[in-house]
């Protein structure tokens, strides 16, 4: 199919909307005689009048040529070499046009490229192995068209050509943008099998852009959903962040659940949703809270996301254990351990993040004790800000813990602890509080900053 070329006066992308570093890079490549396009999500978003997350550039310059042109360039990737241009506040990605090869980002799991014999840039070996046969480089260079058609969805395959400011559509991207459809390029079964993460990307774009999934692709996703677990757990962890932290977590959850992807990706969450309406409402409300907080001065972190997703069931499990006589914190620890273990089959949560999740939840009881013990030390802990945010979420979602939240707001506003009123706790009692020996309260210097790192664990919560 001949590409459709849309002249400057028939589309809305103006150079003013393009990131100045990206624009400068495009000009430089062009002036050196190379083809230089903006590609991928930024072209899609500019056409939709949305602010792009990042500006990716594709060119026929090889990684080596890019490196020689830009002093701020670092080449990354062992298999497929990409150029990163480092600017003050950001990094731009410049890639050489490539043909269908290993799945995107699949350094560790990619299969060797299939474009043998075509699209190579003269003089540049595509496959390079060391003496042990380890693949050092796997550059399957391609034409601009091949580069577009290896991409996941038609709306992600549009290019903006700096040479004449036209938009180039090698598939049906413009039509699908107009009709608001996520349509895989090529046979959906083939494309989702090649790289199951594309199923999650489909859900993410449908949710974030409020687009419909093309019906045949949706059917394939429902059928292939269980295969998501073939993708690398580290990559799935990254995808989970993108799914839930980009402002449309509520819609994402709905689509994941309907498609069967949730059962494969986060089986624990899926099970609880299936058998508990109260949990469903709480989770939905947590996700709405995440979406609202996205634009705030403290956007949700990965560990906070895990707390929002898993907190409700972990707290329940801990309370159940406590009712059977296990100390609350111990029950919470073992519930967290079990949940992370199960999750680890599909999604690798870095140990540090998992530990942070546990601490956010463990701090809830301590925060709710009024007056809290050693509030200054507590507020100096690393997990304090997120733990307090979790308390805020619980308050907003369940109307619980209000008094404790107010106590902390007053404290952080600089009111001396002895002046903060309302010391009797009207909220749910802290299960651990009664089991604990009273300790004398030592005097502490007054300090109100929340961001001091954890020098304060003398205040142990057990």
CA torsion sign for 428, 430, 435, 440 is negative
- In this chain, which stretch among 115-123, 149-157, 317-325, 362-370 interacts with ligand ATP, using CB under 6 A? 149-157
**Cβ at position 277, least distance to ligand ATP in Å:** 32
- In this chain, which stretch among 190-198, 227-235, 351-359, 435-443 interacts with ligand ATP, using CB under 6 A? 190-198
Where does 54-119 show beta strands of DSSP type E? 56-59, 73-76, 82-86, 91-96
The string of DSSP letters for 116-145 reads: TTSSPPTT--SEEE-TT--EEEE--B--HH
Contact, 83 vs 93, CB < 8 A? Answer: yes
DSSP 230: G
Is 195 an annotated catalytic residue?
A: no
**Cβ at position 18, least distance to ligand ATP in Å:** 14
Tell which one of 8, 11, 17, 54 touches Mg ion (CB under 5 A): 54
Is 56 an annotated catalytic residue?
A: yes
As a whole number of angstroms, the distance between CA 383 and CA 362 comes to 10
Using CB under 6 A as the binding rule, whether residue 169 contacts ligand ATP is answered as no
Is 152 an annotated catalytic residue?
A: yes
Contact, 379 vs 391, CB < 8 A? Answer: no
Quick one: 82 or 415, whose CB is closer to ligand ATP? Answer: 82
Using CB under 6 A as the binding rule, whether residue 184 contacts ligand ATP is answered as no
Sheet with 166-169, strands from edge to edge, namely: 4-6, 166-169, 158-161, 36-39, 56-59, 91-96, 82-86, 73-76
**Cβ at position 90, least distance to Mg ion in Å:** 12
**Cβ at position 53, least distance to Mg ion in Å:** 5
**Cβ at position 69, least distance to ligand ATP in Å:** 22
Give the contacts of 212 (CB within 8 A, at least 6 positions apart): 180, 181, 182, 206
- Residues within window 50-69 making contact with ligand ATP, judged by CB under 6 A: 53-54, 56
Tell which one of 156, 303, 376, 461 touches ligand ATP (CB under 6 A): 156
Beta pairing class for 82-86 and 166-169: unpaired
- In this chain, which stretch among 72-80, 191-199, 318-326, 343-351 interacts with ligand ATP, using CB under 6 A? 191-199
Residues that bind ligand ATP (CB under 6 A): 40-41, 53-54, 56, 103-104, 151-152, 156-157, 195, 197-198
What amino acid positions are annotated as catalytic residues?
54, 56, 152
């Amino acid at each position: 199919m001949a590409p459709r070329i849309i002249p400057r006066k028939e589309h809305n992308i103006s150079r003013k909307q393009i990131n100045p570093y990206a624009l400068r890079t495009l000009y430089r490549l062009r002036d050196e005689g190379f083809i230089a396009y903006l590609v991928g999500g930024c072209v899609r978003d500019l056409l939709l009048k949305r602010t792009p997350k990042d500006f990716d550039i594709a060119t026929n310059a090889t990684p080596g040529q890019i490196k020689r042109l830009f002093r701020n360039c670092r080449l990354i990737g062992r298999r497929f070499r990409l150029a990163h241009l480092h600017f003050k506040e950001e990094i731009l990605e410049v890639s050489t046009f490539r043909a269908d090869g290993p799945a995107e980002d699949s350094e560790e799991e990619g299969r060797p490229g299939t474009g043998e014999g075509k699209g190579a840039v003269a003089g540049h070996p595509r496959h390079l192995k060391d003496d042990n046969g380890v693949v050092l480089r796997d550059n399957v260079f391609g034409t601009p068209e091949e580069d577009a058609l290896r991409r996941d969805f038609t709306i992600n395959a549009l290019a903006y050509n700096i040479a004449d400011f036209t938009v180039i559509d090698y598939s049906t991207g413009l039509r699908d943008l107009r009709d608001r459809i996520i349509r895989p390029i090529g046979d959906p079964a083939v494309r989702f099998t090649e790289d199951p993460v594309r199923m999650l990307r489909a859900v993410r774009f449908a949710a974030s852009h409020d687009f419909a999934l093309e019906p045949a692709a949706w059917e394939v996703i429902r059928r292939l959903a269980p295969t998501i677990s073939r993708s690398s757990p580290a990559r799935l962890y990254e995808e989970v962040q993108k799914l839930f932290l980009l402002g449309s977590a509520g819609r994402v959850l709905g689509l994941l659940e309907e498609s069967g992807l949730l059962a494969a990706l986060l089986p624990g969450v899926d099970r609880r949703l299936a058998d508990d309406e109260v949990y469903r409402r709480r989770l939905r409300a947590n996700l709405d809270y995440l979406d609202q907080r996205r634009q705030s001065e403290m956007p949700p972190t990965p560990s906070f996301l895990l707390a929002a997703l898993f907190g409700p069931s972990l707290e329940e499990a801990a309370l159940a254990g406590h009712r059977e006589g296990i100390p609350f914190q111990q029950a919470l620890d073992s519930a967290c351990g079990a949940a992370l273990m199960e999750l680890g089959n599909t999604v690798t949560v870095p140990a540090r993040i998992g530990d942070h999740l546990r601490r956010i939840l463990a701090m809830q009881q301590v925060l709710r004790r009024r007056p809290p013990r050693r509030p200054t030390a507590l507020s100096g802990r690393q997990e304090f800000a997120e733990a307090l945010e979790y308390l805020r979420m619980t308050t907003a979602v369940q109307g619980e813990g209000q008094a404790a939240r107010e106590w902390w707001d007053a404290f952080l506003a600089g009111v001396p602890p002895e002046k903060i009123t309302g010391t009797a706790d009207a909220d749910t009692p802290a299960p651990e509080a009664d089991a604990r020996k009273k300790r004398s309260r030592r005097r502490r210097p007054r300090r109100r900053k929340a961001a001091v790192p954890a020098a304060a664990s003398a205040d142990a919560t057990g």
